[in-house]
Amino acid sequence: MAYSFDFGLVVSGEYGEWLRQGLLTTLHISAISIVGSLLLGTLVAVLRLSRIKPLVWGSAAFTEFFRNTPLLVQIFFWYFGSYSVLPDFVNEWLYKRDFEFAAGVIALTVYTAAFIAEDIRSGVFAIPKTQLEASRATGLSFLQAMRYVILPQAFRIIIPPLISQFLNLVKNSSLVMAVGVMELTYMARQIEAYTFHGLEAFTVSTLMYLSISLVISFAVNMYNKRVLKIAPR
Amino acid sequence: MRWDVVVNNLQYFLLGAWPNGELGGLAMTILLAVGGIFGAFWLGLVVGLFRMSRSGWLRWSAFVYIEIIRGTPLLMVIFWFYFLAPALLGHSLPGSYSALCALIVFTSAYIAEIVRAGVISLPKGQMEAARSTGLTRGQAMRHVILPQALFNMIPSFVNQFVSLTKDTSLAFIIGVNELTKTATQVNNRTMNAPTEIFIAIALLYFVICYVLTAFSRRLEKKLARYQARGR
């Protein structure tokens, strides 16, 4: 059986609109999760670097647990099982909104935060220890020293691995289709189910993912070449 | 909390319907993971060597392969194998085969980059010395460079193995009866203990992956002493 390609079908009209909507949802969920995971990841990393033992253990357990379980299982957990671990008012607030989308955002944020926390920690370790000692000696508290001296330098070093985490997040956002968020992969799947022209839909959506990835990784390479070369060590 | 649901279905989570029906659950996850890493290692090694070859078009095609695969979500690669097989072969493949192929192809691109990094990090003199004793480039690669480079790469391979183990959960999307699928099945049937079921499943994955991660961390420390490095 010869397969006849019909790209016109998926780039225009109703199905083209589906893919466009899907791409927007992918970008939307990725953008929210990127901001969330950066904040949560920084918090977890700072807690793990603190000297208060329960906080150190707690954040270490957080990182190890979320890094070593599949994202898909985490998505299902937040979607099906979160109501019994989240407080009631949060559940009510979530149910009034798009619950699939919220579960997806929470899962992507928490999962990526665990990886980002590790990146930030390794960035902080790359800063000479005397920096922290010197800033503590000038009278800054631990948090002030982190905020004004250590983290700004660490972030500069870890921008490339951070961005590749964000890139992974964009790719991982395809998994939220499993709970019915209508993002790019979901739409491609949907077009396949309606028209049996899945190959075109998957080609176009693969190209969309690919162009996001390539643009970002090109930018990272430029950053590596231009900025990191002149960064003081 | 209703942990009895988890306890009652534990055998189903671990083995699927086996011995009365098809093998599934955690056993299927492990089969996919082991098959995936075995295939991805060899394919990745070949692609990595192509990436460093002196023939321009081999190098270029390996580069394109790596960039395309790494820029695409695994789920897309799985769908490609799932929907392309009927168009190419005329009949559909069982889900587990398409998932395995997708896992191998996807992971091989990452392995290829690990191989390349491992070879590049060796001192350049190794290749020069090997060539000057009369070995061809291929022989030098096989007998001198790769044994050292692969040894240095063991921790990275273990990390990739951990990701692959987690990634097998995506086979669920095309209906393979692995651990995640058994969890959703039991959840749909019982409807009263989703939190417990998914925590239990996450813990099963966690145990495997954490053991591997801890092993890789220990290995990294141990190997650091013997590592041959550039600079």
The tens digit of pLDDT for each residue in B2-22 reads 888 889 999 999 998 888 888
Question: What's the gap in Å between the CA of B130 and the closest CA on chain A?
Answer: 32
Contact yes or no for A202 and B79 at CB 8 A: yes
Q: Please, are residues B96 and B32 in contact by the beta-carbon 8 Å criterion?
A: yes
Over residues B145-189, the pLDDT tens digits come to 999 999 889 889 999 999 999 999 999 999 999 999 999 999 999
- Is the model's pLDDT at B231 over the cut of 50? no
CATH number, domain of B92, equals: 1.10.3720.10
**B-chain residue closest to A169, CA distance:** B73
Domain ranges of chain A: 7-228
Residue-number span of the structural domain to which B186 is assigned: 3-230
Contact yes or no for B71 and A202 at CB 8 A: no
Question: What's the gap in Å between the CA of B127 and the closest CA on chain A?
Answer: 27
- Is the model's pLDDT at A230 over the cut of 60? no
- Is the model's pLDDT at B142 over the cut of 70? yes
Over residues B207-225, the pLDDT tens digits come to 999 999 888 888 888 877 7
Average model confidence (pLDDT) for chain A? Answer: 90
Question: What's the gap in Å between the CA of B148 and the closest CA on chain A?
Answer: 27
Confidence band for B230, pLDDT divided at 50, 70 and 90: low
Look up the CATH number of domain A7-228. Answer: 1.10.3720.10
Over residues A30-47, the pLDDT tens digits come to 999 999 999 999 999 999
**What is the model's pLDDT at position B68?**
95
Which of B82, B83, B98 has the highest number of chain A CBs within 10 A, making it the mutation to test binding with A?
B83
Domain count, chain B: 1
Over residues A65-101, the pLDDT tens digits come to 999 999 999 999 999 988 888 888 888 888 888 899 9
Instruction: Write the ipTM.
Output: 0.91
- Is the model's pLDDT at A212 over the cut of 90? yes
| Residues on chain A touching B201 (C-beta within 8 angstroms) | 73
Over residues B82-99, the pLDDT tens digits come to 988 887 888 888 899 999
Question: What's the gap in Å between the CA of B192 and the closest CA on chain A?
Answer: 10
Confidence band for B228, pLDDT divided at 50, 70 and 90: low
| Residues on chain B touching A206 (C-beta within 8 angstroms) | 72, 76, 80
| Residues on chain A touching B203 (C-beta within 8 angstroms) | 69
| Residues on chain A touching B76 (C-beta within 8 angstroms) | 174, 185, 188, 202, 205-206, 209
Question: If we measure between CA atoms, which residue out of A79, A103, A96, A90 comes closest to residue A29?
Answer: A103
**What is the model's pLDDT at position B227?**
65
